[in-house]
Amino acid sequence: MTQTGTIHGVGLGPGDPDLMSVRAHRLLSRAKHVAFFRKAGRKGQARQIVEDLLPDNVIEFPMEYPVTTEIPLSDPRYNQALSTFYEEVTQHLIALAQSGDDVVVLCEGDPFFYGSFMHLYARLRDVVPVQVVPAITGMSGAWTATEAPITWGDDVLTVLMATLDEAKLTHHISETDALVVMKIGSNFEKVVRALKTAGRFDDAWIVQYATMPNQNVIKLSEMVEDVTPYFSIIVVHGQGRRP
């Protein structure tokens, strides 16, 4: 009987290949099948990160999102489209594993931290073997780029999705010591308003393309150029107890 292959959810870290784990590099260099998420018509950031690390004969499986920003998150069609998409790509991965092949699924940042892989993992874990390779998160790369600690002593760190409504954003921002805001997208102006209302705007930094060659780090209050929303993270440093 053919031995079932393993699906490896491999965290690639925040963007710089040098920050990838040894285990991730080893799996990539030996990969027969590589799957990765991307927007239709794009190469995909995860695939770009590993450009020079894959074997020449690797078999690629691009998983193209049916929707990204075309439908509001609150629209039932959004979840329906993504649910169908995840089911379809999961079945393809299961078929590869059941034929005896291992598959490496590329994951930006850490696979279990607000990533798409977790939706596959929930569907795969009871059917075929799955292993997850953790990684440095994008937010860790972002606050390191500011050259200042994100937390001190007893500081409470809050991670927010910019997709929350403005009142919730404002509440959480005003209640925390240190802050990370992710998935900014088209919500940039809403996040700025929430930071101002909570009195944290002047303390905020925005990091674009953290750890990548085109990294840009600047105080949010000094930002004059256009923001690249997808690869932007806003951070506010804690100022807590220290010796």
Report pTM: 0.91
In the chain, list all ranges with CATH 3.30.950.10. 139-236
Those residues of the chain that have pLDDT short of 70 are 1, 69-71, 228-229
User: For residue 70, what pLDDT is reported?
Assistant: 64
- Specify the CATH number of the domain 139-236: 3.30.950.10
Closest CA to 210 of 138, 154, 147: 138
User: For residue 74, what pLDDT is reported?
Assistant: 73
In the chain, list all ranges with CATH 3.40.1010.10. 7-136
Residue 22 identity (one-letter amino acid): V
User: For residue 53, what pLDDT is reported?
Assistant: 95
- The tens digit of pLDDT for each residue in 75-124 reads 788 889 999 999 999 999 999 999 999 999 999 999 999 999 999 999 99
Sheet order of strands, 216-219 included: 157-161, 178-182, 232-236, 204-208, 216-219
- Name the 3-class secondary structure at 89: helix
Closest CA to 123 of 4, 2, 9: 9
Q: Which fold has domain 7-136?
A: Cobalt-precorrin-4 Transmethylase; domain 1 (3.40.1010)
User: For residue 41, what pLDDT is reported?
Assistant: 85
Q: What is the C-alpha separation between 224 and 235, in angstroms, rounded?
A: 17
Please answer whether residues 134 and 11 qualify as being in contact, where contact means their C-beta atoms are separated by less than 8 angstroms.
yes
